[in-house]
Structure formats: structure tokens, C-alpha cells
Structure 1
Amino acid sequence: MLISLRYTQRMIVLLSALLFSSVSFAADSNIVTVKDKQDIKVVYDINQNNIEAGIGKGLYYLRGLLEAYQKQGVSEKQLHISVVVHGAAGYWLLKDKPYQEFTGNPFDVNANKKVVQELMDHGVSVELCHVTMKGHGWAENDVLPGVKIVFDAYTRMIDLQQQGYAYIKFI
């Protein structure tokens, strides 16, 4: 019983500290927020196969970016976000059967397809490099519905940057 009581006391202290830090953080008026909430343009460059929370890390953090803008009062209509996927991350945008063929596991399902659909539902343009597709022998019908196929990743990102998009290289 003594161990249980000590554990409970520690948990109360930890939870109290967490609650206190959250309240003080939220009340801090020194936090800098987005000033220009109009016509925000961002292009994400994802070509590394890094995984976070069971999905592609770049997609995971992009979802976080959407949430951060939302919490700062930026309307989805003011966000213009393109994510250009190529190289080692290209298979994230495949339907289950070609995904299974790529991974070599007939029981794999593409965990990225849910977050990809969520991103597209929030207005994000999810784009796959045709050169990456060609290099792996993937066809258009292998790609998740709604994903745009671009001629190549680099010319697409250069074009978007020339249109005023902020560039984020995701590693």
C-alpha cells in the first residue's frame, strides 16, 4: 500500500505541474503568433522515408502545421499548401496492393492513406513526382485517389517558390 500511495502522490505532483505549465503557457502574452493571416503559401518537400507515430513524418508534421494555423485563427481558405513527395517517401502515396508489393509484405496496409485524405480534405494539395513513379514502375492507378501527379518534384517546387510559396524541406 505504501508503494501505491507514493506512486499516487508522484502522479498528482506530475499532473499538477503539467496543468500549471499549460495554464501559464496559455496565459503568456509574450508568445508571438502569425501576423499576416491572409494568403499563406507553403510548399513541403518530402523525400525521406522517416516515420513518426506510425505514418510518414513529414505528413505527421504537416498535419501539426494545419492545427497550429487553426489555433492562431487562420482560416483554411487562407492556406495554400502543397506537399511534394518524391524519392524514398514516394510509396507513402500508394494504394494498398502496390504498397504491399513495394514493402514485400502482403499484409501491410498503407497507414498514410488516412492522413493523406485528411490533408486533402483540409485543402492541401498532395503531389507525387512522376519521375519517382517511373523509377519504381508505378502507374497512375497505383496512386491514392486525389493525389496529383507532377512532372517532377524539383521543377514543381521551383514553380511554387516563384509564385511566392515558402519552402520547407522536411527531413
Structure 2
Amino acid sequence: MAQEKAYPDNIITVQKTKNIKIVYDINQNESAAGIGKGLYYVRGLLEAYKKQNVPMKELHISVVIHGDAGYWLLNEEKYQNFTGNPFDVNPNTKVVQELIDHGVSVEICHVTMKAHHWKPEDILPGVKIVFDAYTRIIDLQQQGYTYIKFS
């Protein structure tokens, strides 16, 4: 019995299925489905590639978070301090870990951290600290990463 395709023949699917490089630039504090909207869309991108049979090992995704979105990457205590609510739970913790588990490099700008007096121990486990968002993004673009500005 033949397996039914997940999409009609007239839909164009990805042609490049190896060594796909993407850098997301996220600095806007917007939500979708109860989490940071940029993180929500990165998770959706992973799913879209998966549905087109692209192996996760072929995806090289860096998510550079800075500016108003920086607090998404704070541990519980610092998140509560930032929001001013001692009962707040960071809704992004789980999705950040899921992205990291799928090989996504989740990164926070050190300049954003300095502006808020955050230290490395204030950041979620597995998140990488980059010197500054813009030089990181430029460097990745020069390495062949496709740039996606999330706004």
C-alpha cells in the first residue's frame, strides 16, 4: 500500500536539503502561543523542514536575541526580578531547551546583558553569550548564513 504524500504535487518544497544555515535576529518583545514570538517561529521553521524530510543535523540555526527580547532568556529568579512579579514563570524556558536539544544555537547579546546588569549565571542553561548581536549576525552572514530579521 503506497504512503500518501503530506502535500500536493503542485506545492514547491525545499531543493537544498544539506548544510542549511540560518541566523535569526530577534529583538522585539512580542508573544505568540504564550511564548516569545520569535522562538515560536523558529520552532515552526524546524517543523517545516522536518515535514520536508530535511534531517535536523543538516540545519545550522543561530538565534541571536537582544534588546527588548533579551529577558526571554533569563532564569526564573532574574525573570521574576525583571517582571516585578515574584510568582512569574518564564514561559520561554521549555522552548529554549527544546531548540537547544534540536541543535539550535540560542544566543544572547552581551551588550544587552550589560545594559540590564545581568550576569552569565542569570541566563538559562545552554544559552550562548555573544560579544554583541550585530557583529555576531554580520559574522554569520559572512559565513553563508541566511538572515531572517524577526520583527
TM-score in same-fold range (> 0.5)? yes
TM-score range, shorter chain: over 0.9
Query: 86, 100, 105: which one pairs with 2:66?
Result: 86
Query: 50, 73, 82: which one pairs with 1:102?
Result: 82
Change (3 A) 1:27 1:75: closer
Structure number with greater CO (CA < 8 Å, separation at least 6) is 2
Residues 107-143 of structure 1, C-alpha deviations (whole Å, 9 max, x = no match): 0010100000000000000000000000000000000
What CA distance in whole angstroms lies between the structure 2 residues aligned with 1:46 and 1:114? Answer: 18
Query: Which sections of structure 1, spanning at least 5 residues, go unmatched?
Result: 1-22
What CA distance in whole angstroms lies between the structure 1 residues aligned with 2:33 and 2:54? Answer: 26
Q: CA deviation at 1:28?
A: 2.1
**How much identity, in percent, do the aligned residues show?**
72
Is residue 2:105 matched to residue 1:125?
yes
Query: 138, 146, 150: which one pairs with 1:166?
Result: 146
Q: CA deviation at 1:27?
A: 5.0
Question: For residue 144 of structure 2, what is the amino acid of its counterpart?
Answer: G
Larger Rg: 1
Q: TM-score of the superposition, structure 1-length normalised?
A: 0.85
Q: Which residue pairs with 2:51 in the alignment? A: 71
CA RMSD across the alignment: 1.2
Query: Which sections of structure 2, spanning at least 5 residues, go unmatched?
Result: none
Is residue 2:50 matched to residue 1:50?
no
What CA distance in whole angstroms lies between the structure 1 residues aligned with 2:113 and 2:61? Answer: 22
Question: For residue 74 of structure 1, what is the amino acid of its counterpart?
Answer: V
What CA distance in whole angstroms lies between the structure 2 residues aligned with 1:56 and 1:85? Answer: 11
Q: Which residue pairs with 2:93 in the alignment? A: 113
Match of 2:63, SS?
A: strand
Is residue 2:123 matched to residue 1:148?
no
Name whichever structure is richer in helix by fraction: 1
State the number of aligned residues.
Answer: 148
Residues 83-106 of structure 1, C-alpha deviations (whole Å, 9 max, x = no match): 000000000000000000000111
What CA distance in whole angstroms lies between the structure 2 residues aligned with 1:28 and 1:49? Answer: 36
